[in-house]
A and B are shown apart, each in its own frame.
Chain A
Amino acid sequence: MSERVATVRRVEERWGGAATRNTGDAEAGRGRAGAEGGDRAAARRTQAEQRESRVGAGLSELERWLADQIGQGIAQARQTGPADWDDLARRLVDAQAPGVAGAVTRLSRVLGAEDWPGLLLGEYALLHLLAVAYRRAAALPEPLRQTVRARVGFSVTRESVLATPAVPDHWDVVGCRDEEQDRLVARRVWLAGRTTGRLAMVLSFAPAGQPLESFPPPGTTIDADLAFYPGASPLRALVAERRGLVDAGPPPGTKVSQVPALIAEVLAADPWTDSWPLVLDGAVPCPDGLADDEGNALPLHPSAGVPWRLLAVSGGRPVTVAAEWTPRGLLPLTAWNEDGGVVRL
């Protein structure tokens, strides 16, 4: 298991994550390309074409594999799934589709749930949808095509992201989570723009035990320009320019009752979205969800348990809470108490 995950990680790092850490200077890169002339460019084109055909073959195989599974039935998935997924993920890594390989690796997470057959069917269906979308990419609108390519595992260089127009705003840092897997720590920092209302996620990696790039903690507000990775529902971003901290108080939020429409919009643009940051205003924490004063409640993710710290901060009264939306429920990130103090959850 861990060996396979490590492989996926390595490839994701090489094909996906590496771009985020590549701090190479765009100007220098262009200068090199000009001087080296057309041979290099042609070689690179051939390489890219080879990769497209490898990915295409890998995803066709995935389509057949999924059809086989559904054709024969998934009743045995709890027993046979993990080993099958190991093999499949390895083949997808070889096919240079690390994004899909990662998604296959994560399938085993659903097996712990009571309603695993439904969850697994949902995941299989979305993988099928992704493979089909890649096959028909030429027919897709450009932003969705970019989303599909990113989900498959094609990386976008840092330079090309920074070359797009950046979004200036006062960005509230609303959440931060580090996740370690196979000696690599991934840090997600979620931001919400005060005037644009846009949400963003800045991702960084470091080998375990080594410090991650420092970022202002949740509760702070930065005056910055963010450049977004392309896609139909852009979230991941880079800080193009950071001017400094702003003293702004708790972030404005949306109402609990507005969340379904907001998520529907995100999913309509990118149906594979499985994480989206929310800042909720006037939310009353309950043992199993976040409610508004009319009793509408969004459920928490089963892994969140009873959010005792959040309950303690609220004392049964409405608070501002940042949370990560996932298809299975919310994961609380940060709360602002009645004195405006920030509590990481």
Chain B
Amino acid sequence: MTRAASGGWEAGRVSWEELVSTALVGADRRAVPPESLLERAAEQVVRMRAGRRPGRGRPPAPAAAETLPLVPGAAADRLARMLAGEQGRLLTEWLETAAARRVRVPAEMIPGLLDLGARDRSIRACLGAVAGARGRWLAGLNSAWAYLLAEPAQVPPDEVWELGTSGDRRAFLTVLRRRDPAAARELLERGWSAETPEERAVFVTILADGLGMADEPFLEAVLDDRRREVRQAAADLLTRLPRSRLALRMTARARRFVTRNGSGLRAEPPPACDGAMERDGVRARPPAGMETRGWWLQQVVAHTPLSFWPGHLGMPPDEIAGARIGDWEREVRMGWTRAAILQRDATWARALFEAEPLTDLLAVLPPEERSHRAAELVAGHPVDGQMVMMLGGVPRPWGHRLARAVLKKIVETTRTQPWNAGELIRLAGERFHPAMHEHAGEVPELAATLRFRFDMLKELA
């Protein structure tokens, strides 16, 4: 180190950067007394801390005003406790209820909720409603929360169709479809080519509400869409219209592939998946582990109107569902199951459920019957993973009959195999009508959860 630089140390004219670089390599190597370096550094560090000027801030543009009222205080306090972990499994019900009541959550809880929504798609629709204008504002600042902008927030005014976010436009179309199905379809047709593939697929599914033959020409045209998801959505709707061209084409295929064989049935899968089949929504590539032709067969059956089969096979649905098929039996049954769900056919769902109690079929049955059938299953089976999964498919609130059967099963199981009752108790806590808390005294954990929900819903009322 030079003499001139050493002179600088004493005079206090050294820059902070030079102090740091000297300290890094060692004051000895630059012939600087360490003590004087420390003293200069002490002066400078205090001066820098004390003299730090404010920088330039870039405040975000202010959020829009809220249109919904704030949730009541007691409900907000409970939500805060739930976000902190108390009865966290009930959060979805809290959100659904608040969304239905058209109230919004306190601003400070929105970030925590949006983090949850980033991981759990199932609550996003509710968040779109309860997070209010502040939630949408935050979603615009954090890309991890941008999903919120695709959720409908509220019933929007008319210009939303031209200018709104995708969520607002979906909400608008949904409402219009309910009020005037033809107007909704015509609005969609006018700007169809300008929509993104993601929007096109969602818009098609919105037409499920009030679906009729008047929609058939439009949906048939959509089968020529470039994007598979869009074609698929249109094909799923067209199978619900037995007189649609797609239904007739599928019927013609199905006629060849599934036939009567004495007292049973015989199935023969399609030899190939041609362009016409693909256009009708049949996917050529099977999911992993599935035989390719069986996959095609399943999809053809799934997209054939169920009303075709009794006449074609000369049997009522309950006999068809129980009939022996031999080869490809599994694929054909899966096809019918899928068809019963897509076409929301309770008769077929009932018949197929008799043959094999698949949870997905319960959803097609009227609530009373669904509860009834699930109750029968519960009464006759030990608690196992399959039962819990079946019950998991029955939405809340469970009917009286099912709730009583499950409560009985829980009490029995707690006595004999307590280790097996936990998951069922938790599920019952979520699905029973909360007023049941008064009758669940034998199972304290269940009673506590139901009581929690009872209070929770009262606060949100």
Contacts and interface: CB of A to CB of B under 8 A. Distances in A.
A337 B107 contact: yes
B38 A66 contact: yes
A317 B34 contact: no
Contact of A117 (B20, B35, B59, B142): B20
A246 interface: no
B3 interface: no
Interface in B100-117: 106-108, 110-112
Interface residues of A, number: 56
Interface stretch (A13-21, A122-130, A172-180): A122-130
Nearest to B115: A308
A74 B50 contact: no
Nearest to B107: A312
A124 B41 contact: yes
Given A118-B20, A121-B19, A290 B108 contact: no
A309 interface: yes
Interface string A279-293: 000001111011110
Contacts of B28: 71-73
A316 interface: yes
A315 B134 contact: yes
A70 B58 contact: no
A287 B141 contact: yes
Interface in B32-47: 34-35, 37-39, 41-42, 44-46
Interface stretch (B60-68, B360-368, B411-419): B60-68
Interface stretch (A51-59, A148-156, A214-222, A258-266): A258-266
Interface string B406-448: 0000000000000000000000000000000000000000000
Contact of A264 (B16, B35, B42, B50): B50
B62 A317 contact: yes
A271 B49 CA distance: 9
Contact of A71 (B26, B45, B49, B59): B26
Interface in A46-100: 63, 66-75
Contact of B41 (A121, A267, A284, A306): A121
Contacts of B214: none
Nearest to A77: B24
Given A117-B20, A117-B23, A337-B107, A122 B53 contact: no
Contacts of B60: 286-287, 311, 316
Given A70-B38, A271-B42, A315-B134, A291 B62 contact: no
A20 B141 CA distance: 45
A217 to B, nearest CB: 14
Nearest to A325: B49
Contact of A308 (B35, B54, B142): B142
A299 interface: yes
Contact of B57 (A72, A122, A296, A327): A296
Given A268-B50, A312-B111, A289 B55 contact: yes
Given A128-B38, A263-B49, A263-B50, A70 B27 contact: yes
B41 A295 contact: no
A75 B42 contact: no
A271 B55 contact: no
Contacts of A268: 50
A122 B41 CA distance: 6
Contacts of A298: 54-55
Nearest to A318: B59
Contacts of B13: none
Contacts of B54: 256-257, 259-260, 296-298
B56 A312 contact: no
Interface in B163-204: none
Contacts of A137: none
B25 A75 contact: yes
B55 A299 contact: yes
A313 interface: yes
A73 B26 CA distance: 3
A129 B28 CA distance: 20
Nearest to B138: A312
A343 interface: yes
A325 to B, nearest CB: 10
- Interface-centre pick from B24, B44, B49, B61 (highest chain A CB count, 10 A): B49
Given A70-B23, A308-B138, A309-B111, 20 more contacts: A67-B35, A70-B27, A73-B23, A117-B23, A121-B20, A121-B45, A126-B46, A128-B42, A129-B38, A260-B54, A267-B50, A287-B58, A291-B59, A297-B55, A309-B112, A311-B138, A315-B134, A316-B59, A337-B107, A341-B106
Interface of B: 16, 19-20, 23-29, 34-35, 37-39, 41-42, 44-46, 49-63, 106-108, 110-112, 134, 137-138, 141-142
Interface of A: 63, 66-75, 117-118, 121-122, 124-126, 128-129, 256-257, 259-260, 263-264, 267-268, 271, 284-287, 289-292, 295-299, 306, 308-309, 311-313, 315-317, 327, 335, 337, 341, 343
Closest 8 CB pairs of A and B: A291-B57, A297-B57, A73-B26, A125-B41, A315-B63, A308-B111, A296-B54, A316-B62
13 contacts: A71-B28, A72-B28, A75-B26, A122-B41, A129-B42, A257-B54, A285-B59, A286-B59, A287-B60, A295-B57, A316-B63, A317-B62, A343-B108
